[in-house]
Amino acid sequence: MKRNLRCMYAIALLQGMVFYGPVATLYREAQGVSIAQITLIESISLALCILLEVPWGILADQLGYKRTMIGCCFLYFLSKIVFWQADGFGGFLLERVMLSVVVAGMSGVDTSILYLSRGEQDSQQVFGWYNSLQTAGLLIAALIFSLFVGDNYALAGGLTVLSYGAAALCALGLTEVKSPAPFSPRLTLDILRQTLTNRRLLLFLLSAALLSEAHQTITTFLNQLQYARAGLPDWAIGALYIAATVLGMAGIWSARLTRRTGTVGTAVLLCGGGVLACIALALTTAPLPSICAILTLRLCNTLCQPFLMELQNKQVTTPHRATALSVQAMIIDGVGVGTNLAFGALAEINLSWSFWLGGGICLAGLLLFIIWYKLRPRA
C-alpha cells in the first residue's frame, strides 16, 4: 500500500501546479470573460458539485476507488486542455462543468484511498502530507510563473496541461483498496437517513464546516480588503500571498501537535487561535496586527484540516465509504453556501462586522466540537 501513498502524493503535488493561478482572473478576462460572468460560472460550478456529490459517491462505490480516481484524473487533465483553449464564456463554463464533475467524483475517494492504504495508523500524518504537497505544488508553480512565465498566459496554461497529464499517468499506478460494492437503493437511503439522524455526527460536520468556511472566506477574499484598508502596497500583498501559501505546508506537523495536546486540546488551540485572529481583524486596521492575524488564521486551518479529516474518516463504518463521505460533503457544502452569503452581505455593509461573524463562527465551531467529543461512546 506504500505504492498508493507514493502515487497519491505525486498526484497531489502535480495537481497543485496551476501555473496560471496568480493570474487566474486576468487570464479569463484576457479571453473575453467579464467578472460578472466569472462569478456566474463559479456559482453554477458550486451548485453542480453539491448536486453530484451523492450520485458520484454511489458510483464510486460500485466502480471501485482506483477506477474512479483514474477516471477523474484524466477528466481533470481534459478540463485543463479545455481551459487552455477556451475563448469566451462558453469555453470557460464547459471547463468549470467538467471540474465540478471531477471535484464531486474525487470527493471522499482520494481520502478513502489514503485512509484505507494506511489504516487508522498515522492517517492524520498522511492527510497532512497530502495537503502539504498540494500546497507545495501551488508554490512551485507560482515561483516558476513569477521567474519565467510572466505575462505569457498561453504558456502558463500549457504548463498546467502538462502537469495534470503527468498526474493522470500517476493515477494508473494505484492499486485497489477495497472491492466494489454493489448498488443498493435501500442501502443508499439508509446511509442518508443514518447521517441525517445521527445527532453526534451532524454536530461534528457542522463544527468542521464552520471552522473551514471561516478560514476559506477570510483568507481567500476578505484578506485583500483588509490589506487594502491597512494601506499595504500591491507588492506587499503579493509577498503575503506567498507567505500564506508556505504556511499551507505546515499540515505535516498536525499529527505531532495532536499527539502532544490531545483531541480536545488541539481543537481548543486551533479554533481558539481562529477566534482571536478574527477579533484582531475586527478591531484593527493597522498593517502588522492585520498581517499576523491573517497568517495565524491560515496556520490554524492548515493544522486543523488533517486533524478533522482523520476524525471524519474514523466515523465512517459502512463499506460504502465514498457514498457516506459524499453525503457528509453535501452537508458541509450546504453550510458553506449559507456562510458565504452571510460574510458577503456583512462585508458590503462593514468589513469589521464580517470579521466579528468569523470569530463567532469559529467559537460556535469549537463549542459544537466539544459537545461532539463529550457525546462519544464510552469504552
- Residue 275 cell numbers, joined: 477566534
- Looking at the structure, tell me whether residues 153 and 42 fall in a common domain: yes
- Looking at the structure, tell me whether residues 258 and 360 fall in a common domain: yes
Domain around 54: 2-175
- Looking at the structure, tell me whether residues 101 and 22 fall in a common domain: yes
pLDDT band at 169 (very low <50, low <70, confident <90, very high): very high
State pLDDT tens for residues 298-316.
Answer: 999 889 988 888 888 888 8
Per-residue pLDDT for 120 more than 70? no
- Looking at the structure, tell me whether residues 166 and 202 fall in a common domain: no
pTM of structure: 0.76
Rounded average pLDDT over 115-127 = 76
CATH code for the domain of 6: 1.20.1250.20
Contacts of 64 (CB under 8 A, 6+ apart): 176, 178, 179, 180
- Give CA–CA dist 115/278, Å, rounded: 33
Q: What is the pLDDT of residue 75?
A: 96
Q: What is the pLDDT of residue 91?
A: 92
* Weakest-pLDDT range from 127-131, 141-145, 226-230, 319-323: 319-323
- Residue 93 cell numbers, joined: 463554463
- Looking at the structure, tell me whether residues 29 and 137 fall in a common domain: yes
Helix (H), strand (E) at residue 326: helix 321-349
Rounded average pLDDT over 231-259 = 82
- Looking at the structure, tell me whether residues 118 and 82 fall in a common domain: yes
Exposure letters 173-206 (e unless 16+ CB within 10 A, then b): ebeebeeebeeeeebbeebeeebeeeeebbbbbb
Domain count across the chain = 2
Q: Which of 175, 210, 236 is the last residue of a domain?
A: 175
Rounded average pLDDT over 168-173 = 95
- Looking at the structure, tell me whether residues 214 and 347 fall in a common domain: yes
- Looking at the structure, tell me whether residues 158 and 70 fall in a common domain: yes
Q: Which of 124, 145, 175 is the last residue of a domain?
A: 175
Per-residue pLDDT for 96 more than 80? yes
Question: Would 379 be classed as within a structural domain?
Answer: no
Exposed, middle or buried, 372 (CB in 10 Å: 0-12/13-18/19+)?
buried
- Looking at the structure, tell me whether residues 150 and 254 fall in a common domain: no
What's phi and psi for 105, nearest 5 deg?
A: -70, -40
Percent of the chain predicted with pLDDT > 70: 94
Residue at grid coordinates 490554524: 300
Q: What is the pLDDT of residue 214?
A: 85
Contacts of 292 (CB under 8 A, 6+ apart): 280
- Looking at the structure, tell me whether residues 34 and 171 fall in a common domain: yes
- Looking at the structure, tell me whether residues 159 and 207 fall in a common domain: no
